[in-house]
Amino acid sequence: MGQNAMRPELGVSVDKGALHVISLVSVGAHPTSGRPRRAEQDARAVELGLHLAGDNLHVLHAGDAEEPALRGYLGMGVDELHVLAQPPGADALPGLADYIRESGVQLVLTGSQAETGEGSGMLPYLLAEKLGWPLVVGLAEVESMSNGSVQVLQALPRGQRRRLKVRLPFLATVDNAAPKPRQSAYGPAQRGLLDVEEIEVVIDDVFIGAALTPAKPRPKRLKVIKAKSGADRMKAATAKASGGGGQVLKGVTPEEGAAAILKLLVEEGVVR
Amino acid sequence: MSDIIRRDPRTEWIARNRLHPLHAAMQPAQTSWMGPNGVLRKNVHGIGFIGPNGIKRIDRSGAQQGGAIKRSVAVDVQLPLHRIATPAFYIAVVPDMVGGRLSRHDRDLLGLAHGLAGNEGAVLAVIFGEHKETAFDTAGVDRLLILEGSGFSGYSPEQRVQGLRAVDNQFDPHHWLLPDSRNGGGELGRRFAASLGERPSTRVWQVAGEQCIGRAGAGAEDLSRPVSRLILAQAECAEPVSETRHEAQAVELSTAVPRSLSRIEDLGAVAVDPALIPMSEAEFIFSGGNGVKDWSLFHRTAVALGATEGASRVAVDDGFMTRDRQVGASGTWVTARVYVAVGISGAIQHLQGIGACDKVVAINLDPTCDMIKRADLSVIGESSAILEALVEAVETYRNGAKRDAA
């Protein structure tokens, strides 16, 4: 039933090469060691871009071109990586918006949030606002494309999917529901070209004022029992979990019981 | 009627007066009698009465007479009303309303909003479309604004941003609070921030005075900054409101929300194979236990309902289900919104595992089992017959919906 809906053959109705795609990438940080690496979600954006556009994929980074971790994306089979050179702490938004506007691209893919710095996840939203493009959040799969409009699957929490139809050009973020990125090969990573372009630097002064500190473990929420008497406290400590007196149907026919259950399931929206 | 124990002098007088016609009815229940084997039997439960604090009191002075009246101890505490007649300012909250109800995350957010509003401001909750929530007052909502209209139904982030902008124009809240969740709040908040041109504080987990602390990067760093106007807060960012009752007064927008042409068309939910969804995050679980006799029927029902299958420990031990399907303390702790338990009596380990579930439906033969006490809806009867009827009912429902659409 849903197996086919979940995993159709990728690129069946998508003509590789017809679409001009840019994947925006950043430098990530390993969750344990903190060492620079290719960012997980950005790698997924590159993977999805390779599925959709093949060799037409454009990979773009705004930041330090000297960073060796950037070559991780080249190792995924991309010939060239475009870098808008910026010092750390600069605002990537104006440069990216100008570049995308001039490139005549139809689809921009990004991860949903950066692994270093503020990581607010605002960049795709601000970019979409600035370009005036629609934004699809949590793109899981591109199903089909026809007459400049694209049918996509959006990832929802609890493993659910929603089908959306958007007109080109648009911007999409990918999260962990997108296809897993392929491994990065060392040889191609070293052979790949870095196309560095100098752009005007806009310093983000708000973020510089804020302080980044190592994350404090969050305090565990205490179960506070506001009981006036000892008997109430005893009851609260020993009580079993209860739903507080539900409806009990006794002595009904199976049909009536089933109808009552179905009514609740439909009300809750789990049976469609 | 109040549950405070009061003496009833008239009943006591009738109990003393052997000539009164109601004398026999007012006698206290017999507490000791001679058993058939000549042993003195005592009913210790019949002695005494439950005092106002829920503690049993036995009065041996002989003063306690009159009928033994059973009184319930559960006192519905009426929390003090927190009334804001003319709000000096507003704190706006846009809850996720997963399944039409306030989630735990939403309640935490309302608690944070209540803290920010203090005694002058009012908490304004903005809801889109239909809801099923009945407890806005105890959750801490002072003013409730429901934006209705066909434009807000389904997935309509652009129209919702338009709605929030209209609210922003009219009420000009000091702060906007949205849950930083994947259920829509994180996305809507960021869209709204981009539309307003405000820089939000994201992934906030603590607001203390003028500073707020949020996670940054991949979650290994904290970012402390001044509180911004738009706050996207994580779950457990504050304690939910628990000590006051609020007005939840309905307010309305004075202007109509402009209709924006949606550039993203919602084509509806896609059927996903429920077996591929991890149990711990499945939304709808259909779980079987010792009371299930016909397992092929059980699987058929799960497919018909489109639910993820689960099982109790007994069903797994007996080999009817695989170990990864076990729900409970030693299996998976599930977070389903709707949990259907077929033939599961509800061992405490199993009930712990479903502690986070919203709605529990039980199908069981034994009306006294613990699962029935936990369930919101229980049907007492033989599971096979009920499951057969359920499969049939679902098929009729689906066919009916198809006919309506055609």
The CATH number assigned to the domain holding A163 equals 3.40.50.620
Per the structure, the complete domain to which residue A138 belongs is given by 2-209
Q: Which two tokens stand for residue B201?
A: 């504080």
- The strand pairing partners of B338, in sequence order, are B284, B359
First to last CA, chain B: 55
Q: Residues B204-245: pLDDT tens digits?
A: 999 988 889 999 888 888 888 889 999 999 998 999 998 899
Distance from CA of A183 to the nearest CA of B (A): 21
A254/B199 CB distance under 8 A:
no
Number of H helices, E strands in chain A: 9, 14
> In this structure, are residues B68 and A245 in contact, taking their beta carbons and an 8 Å threshold?
no
Q: Residues B360-390: pLDDT tens digits?
A: 999 999 988 889 988 999 999 999 999 999 9
Q: What is the CATH number of domain B81-251?
A: 3.40.50.620
Ramachandran area for residue A111 (φ above 0: left; ψ -120 to 50: alpha; else beta): beta
How high is the mean pLDDT of chain B?
87
Q: Residues A27-69: pLDDT tens digits?
A: 999 988 889 999 999 999 999 999 998 888 999 999 988 889 9
ipTM (interface pTM): 0.85
With a cut of 50, say whether residue B341 has pLDDT above it.
Answer: yes
Name the residue facing B217 among A114, A137, A254 (closest C-beta): A114
Helices (H), chain A: 2-6, 40-53, 71-74, 93-103, 123-131, 186-191, 205-209, 230-238, 254-268
The CA distance from B4 to B7, in Å, is: 10
The CA distance from B185 to B70, in Å, is: 49
The per-residue pLDDT for A150 is 92
The answer to the question of residue A217 being in a domain is no
**Residues on chain A touching B223 (C-beta within 8 angstroms):** 118, 210-213
A212/B267 CB distance under 8 A:
no
The CA distance from B23 to B140, in Å, is: 52
Distance from CA of B20 to the nearest CA of A (A): 39
Name the residue facing B377 among A120, A129, A246 (closest C-beta): A246
The answer to the question of residue A161 being in a domain is yes
Beta pairing class for A149-155 and A161-167: antiparallel
What residue segments make up the domains of chain B, in order of their start? 1-76, 81-251, 274-405
The per-residue pLDDT for A244 is 56
The CA distance from B327 to B287, in Å, is: 8
What share of chain B in percent tops pLDDT 90?
50
More confident residue, A225 or B175: B175
The answer to the question of residue A240 being in a domain is no
The CA distance from A210 to A98, in Å, is: 27
**Residues on chain B touching A151 (C-beta within 8 angstroms):** 267
**Residue of chain A with shortest Cα separation from B234:** A218
A159/B337 CB distance under 8 A:
no
Distance from CA of B272 to the nearest CA of A (A): 5
Q: How many domains does chain A have?
A: 1
B264/A136 CB distance under 8 A:
yes
With a cut of 80, say whether residue B406 has pLDDT above it.
Answer: no
The per-residue pLDDT for A6 is 43
A254/B268 CB distance under 8 A:
no
Tell me, yes or no, if the two domains B81-251 and B274-405 fold the same way: yes
Distance from CA of B135 to the nearest CA of A (A): 15
**Residues on chain B touching A129 (C-beta within 8 angstroms):** 194-195
The per-residue pLDDT for A4 is 42
Q: State which residues of chain A have pLDDT below 50.
A: 1-13, 243
Neighbours of A161 (CB within 10 A): 21
**Residue of chain B with shortest Cα separation from A41:** B218
A119/B270 CB distance under 8 A:
no
A6/B223 CB distance under 8 A:
no
Q: What is the CATH number of domain B274-405?
A: 3.40.50.1220
The answer to the question of residue A234 being in a domain is no
**Residues on chain B touching A161 (C-beta within 8 angstroms):** 269-270, 272
The per-residue pLDDT for B380 is 93
